[in-house]
Protein backbone atom coordinates (compact mmCIF):
# COMPACT_ATOMS: atom_id res chain seq x y z
CA UNK A 1 0.00 0.00 0.00
CA UNK A 2 1.43 3.35 -0.99
CA UNK A 3 1.86 6.31 1.32
CA UNK A 4 -0.59 8.36 -0.78
CA UNK A 5 -3.30 5.75 -0.32
CA UNK A 6 -2.69 5.68 3.43
CA UNK A 7 -2.80 9.47 3.66
CA UNK A 8 -6.02 9.52 1.66
CA UNK A 9 -7.59 6.89 3.89
CA UNK A 10 -6.58 8.59 7.13
CA UNK A 11 -7.62 11.98 5.76
CA UNK A 12 -11.11 10.72 4.93
CA UNK A 13 -11.37 8.93 8.27
CA UNK A 14 -10.22 12.07 10.09
CA UNK A 15 -12.75 14.32 8.35
CA UNK A 16 -15.56 11.87 9.06
CA UNK A 17 -14.51 11.62 12.72
CA UNK A 18 -14.44 15.41 13.04
CA UNK A 19 -17.99 15.68 11.66
CA UNK A 20 -19.28 12.96 14.01
CA UNK A 21 -17.56 14.46 17.07
CA UNK A 22 -18.86 17.93 16.17
CA UNK A 23 -22.42 16.60 15.97
CA UNK A 24 -22.05 14.88 19.34
CA UNK A 25 -20.67 18.08 20.94
CA UNK A 26 -23.63 20.04 19.55
CA UNK A 27 -25.99 17.36 20.84
CA UNK A 28 -24.44 17.43 24.31
CA UNK A 29 -24.39 21.22 24.60
CA UNK A 30 -27.86 21.96 23.25
CA UNK A 31 -30.13 19.79 25.36
CA UNK A 32 -32.19 16.68 24.69
CA UNK A 33 -34.50 17.92 21.91
CA UNK A 34 -31.91 19.65 19.75
CA UNK A 35 -29.42 16.94 20.65
CA UNK A 36 -31.76 14.26 19.34
CA UNK A 37 -32.25 16.21 16.13
CA UNK A 38 -28.48 16.65 15.67
CA UNK A 39 -27.82 12.99 16.50
CA UNK A 40 -30.38 11.82 13.95
CA UNK A 41 -28.69 13.67 11.10
CA UNK A 42 -26.69 11.49 8.71
CA UNK A 43 -23.41 12.76 10.11
CA UNK A 44 -21.43 9.70 9.12
CA UNK A 45 -23.11 9.14 5.75
CA UNK A 46 -22.76 12.75 4.59
CA UNK A 47 -18.97 12.81 4.32
CA UNK A 48 -19.05 9.30 2.88
CA UNK A 49 -21.28 10.43 0.01
CA UNK A 50 -18.98 13.38 -0.66
CA UNK A 51 -16.01 11.02 -0.93
CA UNK A 52 -18.02 8.64 -3.13
CA UNK A 53 -19.00 11.53 -5.41
CA UNK A 54 -15.35 12.51 -5.78
CA UNK A 55 -14.26 8.97 -6.65
CA UNK A 56 -17.20 7.51 -8.63
CA UNK A 57 -19.77 8.46 -11.23
CA UNK A 58 -23.29 9.66 -10.47
CA UNK A 59 -25.02 6.35 -11.15
CA UNK A 60 -22.90 4.61 -8.51
CA UNK A 61 -23.59 7.33 -5.94
CA UNK A 62 -27.33 7.30 -6.66
CA UNK A 63 -27.44 3.50 -6.37
CA UNK A 64 -25.59 3.77 -3.06
CA UNK A 65 -28.06 6.35 -1.78
CA UNK A 66 -31.03 4.17 -2.76
CA UNK A 67 -29.46 1.20 -1.00
CA UNK A 68 -28.89 3.29 2.12
CA UNK A 69 -32.48 4.47 1.99
CA UNK A 70 -33.74 0.87 1.92
CA UNK A 71 -31.46 -0.15 4.78
CA UNK A 72 -32.58 2.81 6.91
CA UNK A 73 -36.25 2.07 6.24
CA UNK A 74 -35.77 -1.56 7.27
CA UNK A 75 -33.89 -0.41 10.38
CA UNK A 76 -36.91 1.67 11.38
CA UNK A 77 -39.04 -1.49 11.15
CA UNK A 78 -36.45 -3.36 13.26
CA UNK A 79 -36.35 -0.68 15.97
CA UNK A 80 -40.12 -0.32 16.15
CA UNK A 81 -40.57 -4.09 16.42
CA UNK A 82 -37.87 -4.45 19.05
CA UNK A 83 -39.23 -1.56 21.12
CA UNK A 84 -42.76 -2.98 20.95
CA UNK A 85 -41.97 -6.57 21.97
CA UNK A 86 -39.01 -6.14 24.31
CA UNK A 87 -41.07 -5.37 27.43
CA UNK A 88 -41.32 -8.47 29.60
CA UNK A 89 -39.06 -10.66 27.43
CA UNK A 90 -35.42 -11.59 27.46
CA UNK A 91 -33.10 -9.83 25.07
CA UNK A 92 -32.81 -12.85 22.78
CA UNK A 93 -36.56 -13.49 22.76
CA UNK A 94 -37.13 -9.90 21.60
CA UNK A 95 -34.18 -9.77 19.21
CA UNK A 96 -35.08 -12.78 17.04
CA UNK A 97 -38.52 -11.46 15.94
CA UNK A 98 -37.04 -8.00 15.44
CA UNK A 99 -34.35 -9.39 13.14
CA UNK A 100 -37.00 -11.30 11.18
CA UNK A 101 -39.05 -8.10 10.95
CA UNK A 102 -35.92 -6.37 9.63
CA UNK A 103 -35.19 -9.01 6.99
CA UNK A 104 -38.72 -9.14 5.55
CA UNK A 105 -38.92 -5.52 4.32
CA UNK A 106 -35.38 -5.64 2.93
CA UNK A 107 -36.47 -7.95 0.12
CA UNK A 108 -39.47 -5.77 -0.63
CA UNK A 109 -37.45 -2.55 -0.56
CA UNK A 110 -34.80 -4.07 -2.82
CA UNK A 111 -37.41 -4.97 -5.44
CA UNK A 112 -38.89 -1.47 -5.28
CA UNK A 113 -35.42 0.03 -5.67
CA UNK A 114 -34.82 -1.99 -8.84
CA UNK A 115 -38.02 -0.51 -10.25
CA UNK A 116 -36.89 3.00 -9.33
CA UNK A 117 -33.48 2.45 -10.91
CA UNK A 118 -34.94 1.08 -14.14
CA UNK A 119 -37.58 3.81 -14.54
CA UNK A 120 -36.56 6.63 -16.85
CA UNK A 121 -38.86 9.45 -17.93
CA UNK A 122 -39.22 9.94 -21.67
CA UNK A 123 -40.06 12.98 -23.72
CA UNK A 124 -41.25 13.15 -27.28
CA UNK A 125 -39.42 15.42 -29.66
CA UNK A 126 -40.31 15.32 -33.32
CA UNK A 127 -42.45 12.21 -32.88
CA UNK A 128 -39.59 10.16 -31.41
CA UNK A 129 -39.19 9.03 -27.84
CA UNK A 130 -35.87 10.19 -26.49
CA UNK A 131 -34.67 9.33 -23.00
CA UNK A 132 -34.12 12.38 -20.85
CA UNK A 133 -30.67 12.67 -19.32
CA UNK A 134 -30.60 13.28 -15.61
Residue-number span of the structural domain to which 69 is assigned: 57-120
- CA separation for the pair 44, 22 (Å, rounded): 11
**Res 61 pLDDT > 60:** yes
* Highest averaged pLDDT of the listed ranges 19-28, 49-58, 101-110, 114-123: 49-58
CA pair distance 70, 80, nearest whole angstrom: 16
pLDDT for 97 beyond 90: yes
134 within a domain of the structure (yes/no): no
Residue 131 lies in a domain: no
DSSP, collapsed to helix, strand or coil, labels residue 87 as coil
Same domain for 49 and 17: yes
pLDDT band at 96 (very low <50, low <70, confident <90, very high): very high
- Do 64 and 107 sit in the same domain of this protein? yes
DSSP letters, 95-132, are HHHHHHHHHHHHHHHHHHHHHHHH---EEEETTEEEEP
Q: Is the pLDDT of residue 124 over 70?
A: no
- Average model confidence (pLDDT) for the chain? 75
The whole-model pTM stands at 0.53
One domain, residues 36 and 47 = yes
**68 and 116 in a common domain:** yes
Does residue 17 share a domain with residue 69?
no
What is the total count of domains within the chain?
2
pLDDT recorded at residue 93: 92
Are residue 63 and residue 108 in the same domain, yes or no? yes
Amino acid sequence: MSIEALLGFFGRAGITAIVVVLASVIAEASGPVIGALAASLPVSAGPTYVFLALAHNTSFVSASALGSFAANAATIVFLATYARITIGRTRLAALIPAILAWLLPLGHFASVLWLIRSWRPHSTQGGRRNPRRW
